[in-house]
Structure 1
Amino acid sequence: MEARILRLNMAGQPIEWISWKETTCLYARGLIGWTLGGEVKKARGGYSRLTGLRTVISLPAIIACEGEKLAPMRLNPPLTNPALFARDNYQCMYCGKTFPYDALSRDHVHPSSRGGKDRWENVVAACKRCNQHKGDSLLEETHLELLALPYRPNPAEYLALINSERIRGDQMAYLKPQFSRYTPPGKICA
């Protein structure tokens, strides 16, 4: 898998993951203000007619970009099943068992059929069996109990969740201090 580069705004707030090609373009446009972390890749360009030397750019793991258009921080990360299941550690929040991605479903703690919203604070990963058993019932109408309360990840947590397979140690070291103090231990890769 191709390593991703963590893009920050100039204040150091995490924005998104970008490819080495996108990073090279930002370098060429002079939009990178500062960098951190080890080298992810060397981008090689063409040869100079004058010197015969090849252009080489060392791409770091973390970049901070200048410019208003490149700096918006996503305060409310989008709710997707891959991010939700990663937040809940691929564990059913009712029976406690761990499942592969395909065996999980999104459960609305307060059912949408009864006015519950499709938002981070109202959804949990549930195995299909538990989700079907709960149906459109409220928790107090069943024998089921939540193992952990649902929460909305902050921007740093969200970026760790959606890239957990490919995140580098230096990138995690940058993001981890920004995790919420309410994030349950072990919910986001260490």
Structure 2
Amino acid sequence: MEARILRLDLAGQPVEWINWQATVCLYARDLVSWSLGGVVRQARGGISRYTGTRTVIDIPAIVACHGGWLGRERYVPPLTNPALFARDNYQCLYCGNYFAPQFLSRDHVHPRSRGGRDRWENVVAACKRCNSHKGDKLLKDISMDLLALPYRPNTAEYLALINSKRLRGDQAEYLRPQFNHLQHI
């Protein structure tokens, strides 16, 4: 599995995951301002006909570049089942049991049929049994409780969630202080 490089803005805020080829392009366009972490890969270019030397770029785990996302303070990470299940640590937030992703489903705490919205603050990971049992009922109407409150992950948390299987130690160490909620990564 190929490592991904964490791209930051100039202020050090996480922006996205990029591959090594995109990182080489950033270096070639002189957009990398600073970098951190160990070397993920070494990219070798062609041999200069003037100097006879080969271009070699050590690609670090983390790069900070000019540019970023505009309106980041309003950025809402995309809600996907893999990110949701990772946020809830692959645990059904009703029965408390842990499941493989294929045995989990997205449950709307306030059901969509009753005006609930499909957003981070209203969804939890639920095993299919609990989700079926709850159906379109409100928690106050049945004998079910949530084990934790749903929340929207910030950008650092979201980037860790979607890359948790390939997250390097130096990248996790950089992102962790920016987490508001996640403790298990």
What letter matches 2:97 in structure 1?
Answer: K
Matches within 5 A, 1:101-112: 101-112=101-112
Q: 1:184 to 1:8 in 2, by over 3 A?
A: closer
Contact 2:109 2:122 in 1 (8 A): yes
- Answer yes or no: is 1:140 the counterpart of 2:140: yes
Counterpart in the other structure of 1:11: 11
- Answer yes or no: is 1:166 the counterpart of 2:166: yes
SS at match of 1:3: coil
Contact 2:35 2:64 in 1 (8 A): yes
**How far 1:71 sits from its partner (Å)?**
4.1
Q: 1:122 to 1:135 in 2, by over 3 A?
A: same
Q: Deviations over 1:40-93 (max 9, x none)?
A: 1101111111232211100011111113xx444372111110100000001100
**How far 1:141 sits from its partner (Å)?**
1.2
Distance in structure 1 (CA, Å) of the matches to 2:174 and 2:148: 26
Distance in structure 1 (CA, Å) of the matches to 2:34 and 2:182: 32
Contact 1:65 1:71 in 2 (8 A): no
User: Percent identity over the alignment?
Assistant: 69
What letter matches 2:183 in structure 1?
Answer: P
Could you tell me the TM-score, scaled by structure 1's length?
0.93
What letter matches 1:91 in structure 2?
Answer: Q
Distance in structure 2 (CA, Å) of the matches to 1:132 and 1:16: 36
Could you tell me the TM-score, scaled by structure 2's length?
0.95
Counterpart in the other structure of 1:155: 155
Counterpart in the other structure of 1:79: 79
SS at match of 1:117: coil
- Answer yes or no: is 1:185 the counterpart of 2:183: yes
Distance in structure 2 (CA, Å) of the matches to 1:8 and 1:50: 35
Contact 1:10 1:71 in 2 (8 A): no
Structure 2: which 5+ runs fail to align?
Answer: none
Counterpart in the other structure of 2:24: 24
Counterpart in the other structure of 1:45: 45
Contact 1:4 1:17 in 2 (8 A): yes
Distance in structure 2 (CA, Å) of the matches to 1:172 and 1:184: 12
Distance in structure 2 (CA, Å) of the matches to 1:128 and 1:21: 40
